[in-house]
Amino acid sequence: MQQGHINLSPSHKEETTAYAILVLSAAVESTRTTSHTLTYQLQKNASISVQERAFYGACLTDYVAALNSLYHTLVVMLPNCFFQGINDDYLSALASVNSCRDRFIGPAMYMSPVYPLVLADRNKALLAYSLGKLLL
């Protein structure tokens, strides 16, 4: 089976799964690192404003949800080639990271040092989702 320039015959699908796992691993690690950064900012940085504290707290909740979805896909679904429902996990993770990203857009929070991390996580999750769609 061919999709675009990518051969999705069984042997190539195994390679695609390996790439999907690799990309998703990077997305999970990046998301986990940003989650730790948010936690650190909330617990240790007394200089952040009340507004930043509220944004970071809400984003941390979003990140917990994103990590749950990404981790489930990485540890349970991809290694076992269980692709039914995988799209939902990817989309749930993307929605959670997008929710955090959207919090930064309105007020002047886009100047926050956390904002570029959130954008990078969103792009990595989107790349993982795009590659994961090739498995369906």
How far does Cα 42 stand from its chain's mean position? Answer: 21
pLDDT at 3 over 60: no
Sequence ranges of the domains in the chain: 2-133
Q: What is the pLDDT of residues 53-105, one digit of tens each?
A: 999 999 999 999 999 999 999 999 988 888 888 999 999 999 999 999 998 88
Q: What is the pLDDT of residues 108-135, one digit of tens each?
A: 777 888 999 999 999 999 999 999 888 8
Q: Count H helices, E strands: the chain?
A: 4, 2
pLDDT of residue 12: 56
pLDDT of residue 13: 62
pLDDT at 4 over 70: no
Residue 30 CA to residue 18 CA, distance in Å, equals 19
Q: Give percent of the chain above pLDDT 70.
A: 89
Please classify residue 19 by burial: count the beta carbons closer than 10 Å to its beta carbon, then call 0-12 exposed, 13-18 middle and 19+ buried.
Answer: middle
Joined together, the tokens standing for residue 122 give 């969103």
Q: What is the pLDDT of residues 9-32, one digit of tens each?
A: 555 567 778 889 999 999 999 999
pLDDT of residue 93: 97
- Using an 8 Å Cβ cutoff, are 58 and 75 in contact? no
pLDDT of residue 18: 85
Homologous superfamily assigned to 2-133: Invertase/pectin methylesterase inhibitor family protein (1.20.140.40)
Joined together, the tokens standing for residue 129 give 């989702």
DSSP 89-102: HHHHHHHHHHHHHH
**Rounded (5°) CA angle 101-105-109:** 95
Best CA proximity match to 73, nearest among 94, 53, 55? 94
pLDDT at 51 over 70: yes
pLDDT grade for 40, boundaries at 50, 70 and 90? very high
